[in-house]
Amino acid sequence: MKRRFLLIIGVILLIIIGGGAFLVYNLFFKGNTVELARLNGGIAYTSDMNGTWDVVVLTADGAFKNLTAESSGHEYFPSYAFDGKMINMLSSEGVTEMGPAQVQPDGTGFKTLTIVSAIMSVAQEQRFQWDPGYSRDGWQLWAEISSLNLDLFVQPPTGDKIRLTEDGVNGPRDWFGTWSPDDQFVLYNSNRVDDNENLYRVSRTGGTPERLTNYDYSVFHGAYSLDGETILFVSNEAEILITGEMPLFLMDADGGNVRPIGDEKFIGDAQVSPDGSQVVYMSNESGEWHIYLMDKNGDNKRQLTETGNNLFPVWETIPADSITEATATP
């Protein structure tokens, strides 16, 4: 599997062939941003706590739930839809290469998707915006289907949204964005030069992207260390993710000094909570990979997971109107 988001490829193909989803999107979604509530929900992440890689969620009330326990394959890299009602991932369940899968946040409805069903899922459910992330100073980052591409957008606390990537109709995919620790750059995946995913960074105000890796196979999920000095990423050389192996590499923040992680310690992949008060991150400082939580100022650090290896946390998305409705109910 040379790209995590086969779902998006399928959508683009449908748009090119039929135009229906593109019409719906431009009539109702283009230019709109879903406002997320300033309230923290659960945390989803990739875990091998049950022997295979699964998508697990730690709910807001402290319960752990394996969302993909019924799958006999491996699942990686959860991402929430903006409405919070669906989680996308990669799965090897029942296939010979990694492909898209979905599950509802309560663990029901797990399904692997063909290209056609992935197309119909996005087009019919009209979930064009995924993977919201927050900077420490209140900017929002997300991936969105626009101009027949998957592009990255940011929006400051006040002011209009800014399109970070734009390469014309049916151009490259730009996705999997994450903030640098100083909040000035976005690190992301793109296949903009060739048919493989590589890592890039771009200023949060836009500009020319800087390419950080140059492989003839795909690498995924770049993540900054908390101090901003190193970047961790996952190699999919020889399509190895389908076997359940997840080779981790480190490089300096400028893309140099690439090496297998080995015994080095990594503390990073910080994800700021929607309300801006907390930061969830991952670390192998204990000898295994675990998810940690701390206050935004670094205080009150605590380990959230205890079993297996647990990586790449993301915050649950809770639409603002859902919170309004809930608080208005007697």
What tokens does 208 get?
A: 């020319």
Residue 259: per-residue pLDDT? 98
Residue 53's pLDDT band (boundaries 50, 70, 90)? very high
**pLDDT, tens digit (0-9, with 9 covering 90-100), for 94-113:** 877 777 899 999 999 999 88
pLDDT in tens, 102-154: 999 999 999 988 755 665 676 677 888 889 999 999 999 999 877 667 899 99
- The more confident residue out of 182 and 145 is 182
Question: Among candidates 167, 170, 138, 137, which has minimal Cα distance to 152?
Answer: 167
- Rounded to whole angstroms, how far apart are CA atoms 322 and 71? 30
CATH 1.10.287 for domain 6-28+40-328, yes or no, is: no
Question: 115-125 vs 20-28: helix axis angle to the nearest 10?
Answer: 30
State how far the Cα of 281 lies from the Cα of 271, in Å rounded to an integer: 6
Confidence (pLDDT) at 16: 35
- The pLDDT of 188-212, averaged and rounded, is 93
pLDDT by residue (tens digit) across 233-282? 999 999 899 999 999 999 999 999 999 999 999 999 999 998 889 999 99
DSSP state, 153? Answer: E
Are 214 and 198 in contact by the 8 Å Cβ rule? The answer is yes
186: confidence class by pLDDT, cuts 50, 70, 90 = very high
pLDDT of residue 128: 80
* For the chain, domain boundaries: 6-28+40-328
